[in-house]
DNA sequence: ATGAAAGCGCTAACAG
DNA sequence: CTGTTAGCGCTTTCAT
């Protein structure tokens, strides 16, 4: 039964209570070095009695290892990042480490401050989805190992990274659409501060590889939110009336597309198919349920943390983990009803 | 341009570089105490040149204030808690503090470990939604100020707390339903480890206050998830065939109810009205859009952090902040179509 | 198997 | 206005 309002007991209190030196206490606490079993018992008893708990600040100062990790993501309340954060947190916890979490809102200045906070906290390592280009230098200023989250990892070959296989996911989605007979697919692409996501280029490349007409793959930009996805879809409807399907770079925008279709009096998937990307839970609530490419968000969090831990303790090379996506078929995608699409055979 | 791979510069390096004592450096760094402007300039220059950054571990050890806060919630990937966490994080950030975040999954043992980790990290304060009853003692063992999140705050009158006004929210929802003519409303209630939420008792109390028949307010238990809500709604349909509306204790279960209605061949809101509670974004994706009672999740996070900060620096009494809910009307609630409900006038 | 002493980087008296 | 000194709680040589 820990103390009644006094200050936290220290290793010295425990030493006094058990009649040994603080060195001995430290030894039984850390488990290294030989201690007489009877002495150990007495110390353990004193620990229990005093309610002693190691001061991590002192430990960290002395050893140079804070046993704390940092996570910098765009937005904790975005389910994609929340899921990833959850994975990182669970893995960190399993390794007896704590996680400091920050949201940057894609704001370079905020990100800079977060990185500084993490450096000051002397975290053992950092997981980050970089919001801005010039982070390259910022990241290099940092002593602690860094693991990059997401496809921007490619811009930092010197750091390990973990991301989903966007190219494969895009192929999965497009092949499904093409196989169903879609030849005119609108793209809903996100634009981060870094410019366009690799989603567009992968889609374009695969589309042409299939011998299809690039002109029939129009794209509209949005900002990864439902609202912006809805607006962008409306623009797509105007620009490309013959379009039979919409493929969004994330699920939130796809949900927006479903809403936009409904608002335009179109029935999904009868009049228009809608394909998402992420696998976020929200996609299962819509009507029709959202067919999507599931990214292993949680696992990316776990994997990234594993890589970081490896980098911290020296084992573990620089690796770029690329986790596969998975097609989740629900009801928002079907064969196009009419034959209003242009057809081409592959060359 | 910070160093080339050497160890992090310390206050002593800065002192040497600028030709003063470390005390003087500390003074310009903290801004307290008078320093000659020329000296200050030289020190600042040295700080810049060396890329010095304060070691928070040493700072915390010396001052006893780690400038770190802890947050323990059930599940970071649940949008309700993610939104709240976001609020806490933003406020903490604004006060130049970092946030250590943990998920307990309503598991007492995990929660215990998290609390221990926070104590060891010597956080300045803790925000927690307690998962288990016997936390009472656990929370009291903790030196750091505690602010309780959610309605379990009432079980800890000695700690400040922040929560939404569930009673008012329930009134809002029930009055809306009753005003529309509903007299037979199924309740979807969550059960946490602490037993039933106060949702049921508030609903029952208000229902009877309105002179309505308690027998026409059947309740089924679920676990705050879409799936469980769906199953519980199905049971409700069996138990209470005359029911014209379902009122769920959270939005995820309400979404489940919408799915269950659809599966049962019922049209919402024509055949059955569905009312949620939370205000989580997912409710706006469903078809029909979920009418719900919006809880100020983000603001609760902010407010709780404010209270905690107040408790930390001594200003600020123990207060129990109760934030109002707000009815969000979308399309899932309408007047009952038939007259298959029992009617009673208020006494 | 145990203890004494040094020191991680910083702040907070206390002198000058 | 500036420097000296002590010490936060812990680990880690180095003796014994």
Does B176 lie in the same domain as B29? Answer: no
Look at residue B25 and tell me if it is in a domain: yes
Beta partners for B291?
B275
Residue nearest to nucleotide C7 (CA to C1'): A62
Least confident range from A5-19, A37-51, A224-238, B64-78: namely A5-19
Taking the Cβ of residue A202 and every Cβ of chain B, the question of whether any pair is shorter than 8 Å is answered with no
Does B307 lie in the same domain as B281? Answer: no
Where in the sequence is the domain holding B216, given as residue range(s)?
A: 166-294
CA of B58 to C1' of D13 (A): 22
Taking the Cβ of residue A261 and every Cβ of chain B, the question of whether any pair is shorter than 8 Å is answered with no
The residues, any chain, with a CB within 8 Å of residue B31's CB and separated by 6 or more, are none
pLDDT bin (cut points 50, 70, 90) of residue A193 is low
Does B285 lie in the same domain as B266? Answer: yes
Does B264 lie in the same domain as B180? Answer: yes
Eight-state DSSP code of residue A7: P
Does B303 lie in the same domain as B161? Answer: yes
Write down the pLDDT at residue A262: 92
Does B190 lie in the same domain as B240? Answer: yes
Which chain B residue has its CA at the smallest distance from A5's CA?
B143
Look at residue A289 and tell me if it is in a domain: yes
Q: Which nucleotides of C are covered by protein (CB under 7 A)?
A: 1-5, 7-13
Does A316 lie in the same domain as A249? Answer: no
Look at residue A23 and tell me if it is in a domain: yes
Q: How many Cβ atoms are within 10 Å of A211's Cβ, its own excluded?
A: 10
| Cα distance between residue B337 and residue A8, in whole Å | 65
**DSSP H or E segment with residue A48:** helix A37-50
Write down the pLDDT at residue B1: 37
Look at residue A34 and tell me if it is in a domain: yes
| Cα distance between residue B25 and residue A120, in whole Å | 17
Residue nearest to nucleotide D9 (CA to C1'): A58
Taking the Cβ of residue B53 and every Cβ of chain A, the question of whether any pair is shorter than 8 Å is answered with yes
> What's the pLDDT tens digit per position in B276-335?
999 888 888 888 999 999 999 999 999 999 999 999 988 888 999 999 999 999 999 999
Q: Total domain count for chain B?
A: 3
CA of A315 to C1' of D15 (A): 35
Mutate to test the interface with B, among A5, A50, A56, A63 (most CBs of B within 10 A): A56
Q: Using alpha carbons only, how large is chain B's radius of gyration in Å?
A: 26
- The two three-digit tokens of residue B337, written as one number: 């179509």
pTM: predicted TM-score of the whole model, two decimal places: 0.90
**DSSP H or E segment with residue A71:** strand A68-73
Which chain B residue has its CA at the smallest distance from A111's CA?
B93
Task: Give the CATH number, domain containing residue A48.
Answer: 1.10.260.40
Q: Mark which of A294, A310, A334 sits at the end of a domain.
A: A294
Does A306 lie in the same domain as A237? Answer: no
Q: Is the CB of B22 under 7 A from strand D?
A: yes
Write down the pLDDT at residue A184: 95
Taking the Cβ of residue A109 and every Cβ of chain B, the question of whether any pair is shorter than 8 Å is answered with no
pLDDT bin (cut points 50, 70, 90) of residue A138 is confident
Peptide bond into B269 cis (omega under 30): yes
Eight-state DSSP code of residue B185: E
Peptide bond into A288 cis (omega under 30): yes
Does A134 lie in the same domain as A27? Answer: no
SS3 annotation, A288-305? CCCEEEECCHHHHHHHHH
Q: First-to-last CA distance in chain A? A: 79
Task: Give the CATH number, domain containing residue B128.
Answer: 3.40.50.2300
- Residue B339 pLDDT > 50, yes or no? no
Mutate to test the interface with B, among A64, A98, A123 (most CBs of B within 10 A): A98
| Cα distance between residue A343 and residue A333, in whole Å | 19
Taking the Cβ of residue B324 and every Cβ of chain A, the question of whether any pair is shorter than 8 Å is answered with no
CA of B32 to C1' of C10 (A): 15
- The two three-digit tokens of residue B246, written as one number: 């379902």
Least confident range from A190-194, A315-319, B211-215: namely A190-194
Write down the pLDDT at residue B154: 78
Nearest CB to A89: which of B60, B93, B101? B101
Nearest CB to B53: which of A98, A116, A286? A116
Cβ of A101 and B102 within 8 Å? Answer: no
Cβ of A226 and B281 within 8 Å? Answer: yes
| Cα distance between residue B306 and residue B328, in whole Å | 27
Look at residue B319 and tell me if it is in a domain: yes
Taking the Cβ of residue A136 and every Cβ of chain B, the question of whether any pair is shorter than 8 Å is answered with no
- Is residue B277 within 8 A of residue B80, CB to CB? The reply is no
Write down the pLDDT at residue B111: 92
Select the more confidently predicted residue: A153 or A304: A304
Using a CB-CB distance cutoff of 8 angstroms, which residues of chain B are in contact with residue A66? Answer: 57
Does B212 lie in the same domain as B243? Answer: yes
Burial class (CB in 10 A: 0-12, 13-18, 19+), A252: buried
Look at residue A200 and tell me if it is in a domain: yes
Cβ of A103 and B90 within 8 Å? Answer: yes
Peptide bond into A78 cis (omega under 30): no
Look at residue B6 and tell me if it is in a domain: no
| Cα distance between residue B277 and residue B253, in whole Å | 9
> What's the pLDDT tens digit per position in A214-272?
899 999 999 888 999 999 999 999 999 999 999 999 999 999 999 999 999 999 999 99
Does B127 lie in the same domain as B72? Answer: yes
Residue nearest to nucleotide D11 (CA to C1'): A62
Least confident range from A79-93, A314-328, B183-197: namely B183-197
- Residue B49 pLDDT > 80, yes or no? yes
> Judged by CB atoms within 8 Å, which residues 205-234 of B form the interface with A?
226
Look at residue B343 and tell me if it is in a domain: no
Chain position carrying tokens 């769920």: B248
> What's the pLDDT tens digit per position in A95-132?
999 999 999 998 889 999 999 999 999 999 999 998 87
Does B313 lie in the same domain as B273? Answer: no
Cβ of A61 and B58 within 8 Å? Answer: yes
Listed ranges A306-310, B134-138, B187-191; the one with the highest mean pLDDT: A306-310
> What's the pLDDT tens digit per position in B134-163?
566 777 778 899 999 987 777 888 899 999
For chain B, percent of residues with pLDDT exceeding 90: 70
């Amino acid at each position: 039964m820990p103390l009644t309002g006094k200050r936290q007991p220290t290793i010295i209190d425990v030493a006094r209570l058990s009649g040994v030196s603080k060195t001995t206490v430290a030894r039984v606490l850390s488990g290294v070095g030989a201690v007489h079993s009877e002495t150990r018992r007495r110390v353990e008893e004193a620990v229990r009695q005093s309610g002693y708990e190691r001061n991590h600040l002192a430990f960290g100062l002395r050893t140079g290892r804070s046993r704390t990790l940092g996570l910098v993501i765009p937005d904790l309340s975005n389910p994609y990042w929340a899921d990833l954060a959850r994975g990182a947190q669970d893995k960190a916890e399993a390794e007896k480490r704590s996680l400091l979490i920050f949201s940057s809102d894609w704001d370079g200045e905020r990100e800079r401050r977060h990185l500084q906070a993490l450096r000051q906290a002397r975290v053992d390592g950092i997981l980050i989805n970089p919001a801005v280009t010039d982070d390259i230098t910022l990241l290099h200023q940092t002593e602690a190992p860094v693991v990059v989250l997401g496809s921007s990892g490619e811009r930092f070959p010197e750091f390990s990274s973990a991301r989903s296989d966007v190219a494969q996911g895009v192929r999965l989605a497009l092949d499904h659409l093409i196989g169903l007979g879609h030849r005119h697919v609108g793209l809903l692409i996100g634009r981060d501060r870094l410019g366009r996501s690799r989603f567009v280029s992968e889609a374009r490349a695969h589309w042409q590889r299939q011998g299809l007409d690039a002109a029939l793959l129009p794209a509209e930009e949005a900002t990864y939110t439902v609202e912006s996805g809805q607006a962008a879809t409306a623009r797509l409807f105007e620009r490309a009336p013959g379009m039979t399907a919409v493929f969004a770079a994330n699920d939130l925008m796809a949900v927006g597309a479903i809403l936009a279709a409904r608002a335009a009096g179109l029935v999904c998937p009868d009049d228009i198919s809608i394909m998402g990307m992420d696998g976020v839970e929200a996609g299962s609530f819509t009507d029709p349920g959202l067919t999507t490419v599931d990214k292993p968000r949680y696992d990316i969090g776990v994997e990234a943390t594993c890589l970081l831990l490896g980098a911290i303790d020296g084992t573990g090379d620089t690796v770029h983990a690329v986790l596969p996506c998975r097609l989740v078929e629900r009801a928002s995608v079907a064969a196009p009803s009419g034959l209003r699409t242009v057809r081409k055979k592959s060359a």
